Amino acid sequence: MAVTTINDSSTDATNDIADLLPRAADGDPRAWEEILHRYSTLIWATV
């Protein structure tokens, strides 16, 4: 599965999903937004 990387100034330099998941679990809204942005198509295709 291809992973899309977003390169804008509002996204942290760490874009690896392995880094984003624990940050989102700890309540980091930017990590959660990045995960949603990357995988929203997959989530909606499943629902």
Residue 9 has pLDDT above 60, yes or no: no
Backbone angles phi, psi at 45, to 5 degrees: -70, -30
pLDDT of residue 47: 75
Residue 32, CA atoms < 13 Å, CB-side half-sphere: 6
Residue 44 has pLDDT above 70, yes or no: yes
- The pLDDT-based confidence of 46 (bands split at 50, 70, 90) is confident
Pairwise CA distance, residues 3 & 16, whole Å = 9
Q: Are 31 and 23 in contact (CB under 8 A)?
A: yes
Pairwise CA distance, residues 30 & 11, whole Å = 7
Which tops the pLDDT comparison, 34 or 46? 34
The whole-number average pLDDT for the span 16-37 is 95
Pairwise CA distance, residues 21 & 17, whole Å = 6
